[in-house]
A and B are shown apart, each in its own frame.
Chain A
Amino acid sequence: MNNLGNILLYITAISCVLSVTFNFISSKPHRIKNHTFLQFGFLSIALLKLINVHINTDYRFANVVENSHEFIPILYKITGVWANHEGSMLLLVWTFSLISFIFSYQSKFNKNLTDQILILQSFLILCLLVIILTTSNPFALSNELIVTGRGFNPLLQDIGLTIHPPILYLGYAGLSIPATISISVLLQRKITIDNNLISKFYIWIALPWALLSCGISLGSWWAYRELGWGGFWFWDPVENVSLIVWIASTISLHLLKLSQNSNSLYRSLFISNVSAFILSFFGMLLVRSGMLVSVHSFAFDPEKGQVMLAILSFIVISSMVIFYTRWNNINSGKPLKLSNITTSSLLANIALLFCACVVIILGIMYPIFQDFLYNKSVSVDEKFYIKTLSIFFLPIIYIAGVYSANQKKYILSLILLSALVVTIINYVSDISSYLNAAYIHASIFLILSLLKNCTNLSKISMTVGHLGFAVLIIGGSLHYTYQFNEIISAQKNRTVQIKNYNITLKNIEYKKIDNYLSRKALVEIANEKKILGTLSPEIRFYPIEKTFTIESAILHTIKGDIYLTLGELDKEKILIELQFKPFIYLLWTGSALMVISIMLYFLFRNGHTKIQSKA
């Protein structure tokens, strides 16, 4: 049964080839739904097989030898499946098949179009299978006689990694649906593009957007808790790639709204849908081929890059050819009227988001250019991203505020009101940075202008989504304004004061747990009035992997998080770093609100359509 996984992958590939070629042989694609079902079934079994192999720690498989060990807790044996390149590719192709499977049952498009879309989805699954079978096969057998595995990166042994990749991959895979819908509509000869057709796009664009938001923020949450550095965004290539895909998806979402409102811009919508998907594929190429090296753990192997590059260029060129030959199939709709605030502000924000996306791509690609042209290794500092993106994101927030305020008389008073709020905040505690003050002002303006719509149930999804965005920005700015950190060398039962906090080291404990040894410090934190709580930052030593990790301990207060990490032990003294993370929970709240906004859309969708039909 060693070959079960491989056999399943080949059968799925054959099923994909069949469903794609049928389309060319006969004009009537038949039973494509069954193929989608089969692909989903086989890939699920293949994934389960890999999980099974990992649970049993079967050292006949190279993937297990390189990434696992028999002493690892069972939960992390399972999540270890997608913590390495080969396994995560299998998870990715499985999410593609899951999304196609769901689409085949939930599609509201007519049968011809649905079949066409499913054929294209099969083709994409085939592409991924080619990558897996040629260069990154998780079922490859090990040719070494090794009695134990190499272990599993202890940093990844965390609940954050259990759920973050599957959700993120579902988002990436979900982006393929709007892309294949667009291409299929282009390929269909007799189809009229109107608002009715466009409105069916919404769920398939909104769903991956929500999944991406959820996946990215979960990743950020994991980094904050687990890496022990207290940050949440590092401007690392892998993070930036996910950010450009998220922005591209946001552009699609807003373009859809704009085309629905104005019956125009259908062509731009189609291009944006396809490019969002291509960007996600391009990101995969960048971070998995070794062109860019990031701190994230992915293999770098030029051979993998070549296959991915070949497939990516095929997808890009073929979609460009389809767009070129079928350009006139899409009616461009009515010409856009820029006279009212709604349309023009939406359009302006889409343009600004596009610019922001280009800037991040430039930042990601710049080291590659430098390496290629001058043979110099450089990295782009986070200051570049913060400075340059502010040029675009500040206006984006203001324009979003203008969009929701809608009337000129409100806009001015709301801007003044939020300026007042910023002054009060500045009076309570000095903001010091103009940029942060501007961000806080802009987001308060956005929140205030959203309040105007909060009673309107048909706009609830939009209101909550934008509220989430504003809360996220405020959280980030307040965090950067008021954060501080200090390192103390603590002694038992001595109190050290940092700002308003009294820190007392109570005890140091040593324990042996599961697959690691732990050194824990019990630290009491108090302010002038009362004891806030006891924290136990920890250092873990993993003997199998011969490495240690820092486990932070976090005390949540209304003002923000108190974040403790433990350092070196030196005779009687131990190093403790205290970081104060003000209002960091606003970041998670904001992201959660953005995800909830899409759920609210599905909840109130029926009400939404009723209200529209009444009007």
Chain B
Amino acid sequence: MKRAKLKRALIIITLLSSISAGVWIVMSNLNQNIMFFYTPTDIQTSTIRKQNIRVGGIVKPHSIKKFYKNKKHIIAFTITDSTNDIIIHYQGILPSLFREGQGIVAIGRMVENNIFISEKLLAKHDENYTPKKPVDSKSKISLCNPKSFKR
């Protein structure tokens, strides 16, 4: 009787400890690997530097420029959340659907002079993209609210 009780207690203790260890590992992994999403306004008002983050906004019309820096082909453009702007530098091939007026998410970090160096660009592939058509309430959400690009 006593032995059975002891055995049961042992099983419960090992189960509980392994579950809590598992939860601890998972949660600490989770906390290390989350990436915050900001709008250009968020970035202007805070001092996040060097940390990898995501920024989302609309590509401003007539802001896309190309230039060479250290023999690297760099594309610069401005994204906006209609109150604040941020300049993004990106080196590489632009993703499908990238264009002026398109909502995009840039992954990378802030450097000096309010320039955001992006390692990866994501263009949202929404089926209701209507760039230059009369904007109804539905597409307003998908186009003009950068919060809707968070992932």
Contact = CB atoms under 8 A, between A and B. Distances in A.
B151 A379 contact: yes
Contacts of B91: 487
Contacts of B148: 293, 300
Nearest to A228: B96
Interface in B47-83: 54, 66, 73, 75
Contact of A355 (B22, B96, B124, B136): B22
Contact of B129 (A377, A391, A547, A577): A547
B97 A381 contact: no
B23 to A, nearest CB: 9
Interface string B126-151: 11111111001010011000011111
A104 interface: no
Interface residues of B, number: 46
Contacts of B98: 548
Interface in A275-333: 293-301
A297 B127 contact: yes
A294 B129 contact: no
Given A300-B141, A378-B36, A378-B37, A565 B127 contact: no
A568 B66 contact: yes
Contacts of A384: 29-30, 32-34
Given A155-B96, A295-B122, A568-B73, A378 B25 contact: no
B93 interface: yes
Interface in A139-194: 144, 150, 152-156
Which has the most chain A C-beta neighbours within 10 Å: B125, B127, B151? Answer: B127
Contact of A546 (B35, B125, B132): B132
B118 interface: no
A535 to B, nearest CB: 15
B40 to A, nearest CB: 14
B127 A84 contact: yes
A359 B141 CA distance: 31
Contacts of B125: 153, 155-156, 295-297
Interface SS of chain A: mixed
A487 B95 contact: no
A161 to B, nearest CB: 11
A293 B125 CA distance: 11
B130 A550 contact: no
Contact of B150 (A293, A359, A381, A489): A293
Contact of A377 (B33, B73, B142, B147): B147
A236 B29 contact: no
B56 to A, nearest CB: 9
B109 to A, nearest CB: 14
A363 interface: yes
B75 A380 contact: no
Contacts of A577: 92-93
B1 interface: no
Interface string A459-490: 00000000000000000000000000001010
B142 to A, nearest CB: 8
Interface string B94-130: 1111110010000000000000000000101111111
B6 interface: no
A150 B75 CA distance: 29
8 contacts: A153-B129, A363-B30, A380-B35, A388-B30, A391-B22, A567-B73, A567-B94, A568-B94
Q: Pick the 9 closest A-B CB pairs, nearest first.
A: A384-B33, A377-B37, A567-B93, A549-B96, A297-B127, A381-B33, A377-B150, A378-B34, A383-B33
Given A367-B150, A381-B34, 11 more contacts: A299-B127, A301-B138, A367-B151, A379-B54, A384-B33, A391-B25, A487-B73, A546-B131, A547-B96, A550-B95, A577-B93
Interface of B: 22, 25-26, 29-30, 32-38, 54, 66, 73, 75, 91-99, 102, 122, 124-133, 136, 138, 141-142, 147-151
